[in-house]
Amino acid sequence: MTTETLTLAEIETLAFEALTRAGASRAQAQPLARATAETEADGVASHGLAYIPVYCEHLRCGKVRGDAVPEVTRPRPGLVVADAGQGFAHAAIAAGFAEAIPAARTQGVAALAVRESYNCGVLGVHTRALAEAGLVGLGFTNAPASIAPAGGARPVVGTNPVSLAAPDGAGGVALLIDQSASVIAKSEIMAHAREGRAIPEGWALGPDGAATTDPERALAGSMAPAGGYKGAGLALLVEVMAAALTGATLGRDASPFSGPKGGPPRTGQCFVALDPAASSGGAYAARIAALTEAIRAEPGARLPGDGRAAARARAQREGVAVRAATLERIRAL
């Protein structure tokens, strides 16, 4: 596989130029370009530059509004609402965090509800921003339906990721959990389909409900929930938080995040930020350190977030190896 090594600044610039040429305003493109570089740094290539051609296609066909201006309101002291205006989620989340982070520091807790939104990429990128601000961050985002409820066959909810980012008490991130309700993120199956590669058995079901290794049949069928009915329950939890609570479109009614059909998906996100200094009696830093150290001390154990942190440090030193085919598609835009 041929690759080209880019710095994080080069990745951000490449993404920004492609997005603005496709019709995104500077205010819409900048947060998404920055998140794209962060995602590549984290080693999550399926959600990084590989998605830029999709974003550009959606700008051109009107599935996402490149000129949207998020509308931020404060209906209650501890609640911030950001209407994305059918623009990119990243711009709305950034605008909402500008209000929610100070509110959480002042009050001890604050929530951000985002509606009329779009695919927010890697959810952990956003919750990590809360942790870097010294807050425990919870994040929820819904997606177009791709998981059937327990005992059912027709998809009703999306892969619906949930994320928790915990600060270390010293300006860093101690722990980062970021997982979807499905066995694997749908974007991984989409990547396999683009590349003509079979998927591992157990990732998805075909339209007939039988297990499949064909990514095209998987995309026409349903994703396998992680842990069976427990994964389906987690997806429902996220649907309540990110769609029902925010006033966003339910996954069953949202247009796909891929392809030009269906108009804006109008999905949603929800974030809860808590200040551990306000709730722990000064014990938070010691408790989170003891917890993470206990996990790292266990032979063979993996602490959620360590892999991404190591990849990010490496990317800052050495850059990121990006597939040449991906770069060709973006530069051709």
Q: What are the residue ranges in the chain where pLDDT is below 70?
A: none
d(CA 165, CA 304): 10
pLDDT for res 266: 98
Tokens of 176: 């980062």
Say which residues have a Cβ less than 8 Å from residue 300's Cβ, sequence separation at least 6.
none
Four-CA torsion 279, 281, 285, 286, nearest 10 degrees: -130
Tell whether 264 is covered by a domain. yes
Phi, psi of 122 (to 5 degrees): -80, 115
Say how many C-beta atoms besides its own lie within 10 A of residue 218's C-beta: 27
Looking at residue 40, its amino acid is E
CATH of the domain at 111: 3.30.1370.60
188 is catalytic: yes
d(CA 204, CA 224): 5
Tell whether 207 is covered by a domain. no
Tell whether 252 is covered by a domain. yes
Which residue in the list 46, 117, 146, 182 is annotated as catalytic? 46
Which residue in the list 47, 90, 126, 192 is annotated as catalytic? 47
Tell whether 201 is covered by a domain. no
- Nearest alpha carbon to residue 141 among 48, 254, 15, 7: 254
pLDDT for res 154: 82
Tell whether 300 is covered by a domain. no
Looking at residue 25, its amino acid is S
pLDDT for res 190: 84
Tell whether 140 is covered by a domain. yes
d(CA 88, CA 321): 26
117 is catalytic: no
Structural domain total, the chain: 1
Which residue in the list 12, 99, 116, 188 is annotated as catalytic? 188
283 HSE (CA, 13 A, CB side)? 6
Contacts 24+ apart (CB under 8 A), 156-159: 156/251, 156/252, 157/181, 157/232, 157/235, 157/236, 157/238, 157/239, 157/251, 157/252, 158/186, 158/235, 158/239, 158/251, 158/254, 158/267, 159/185, 159/186, 159/223, 159/235
pLDDT for res 207: 84
Instruction: Tell me the pLDDT tens digit for each residue of 201-235.
Output: 889 988 887 889 999 998 888 888 998 899 999 99
Four-CA torsion 30, 32, 37, 40, nearest 10 degrees: -170
Tell whether 285 is covered by a domain. yes
116 is catalytic: no
- The pTM assigned to this predicted structure is 0.94
Say which residues have a Cβ less than 8 Å from residue 196's Cβ, sequence separation at least 6.
none
d(CA 91, CA 36): 13
Domain range for 34: 3-182+225-291+305-331
Tell whether 101 is covered by a domain. yes
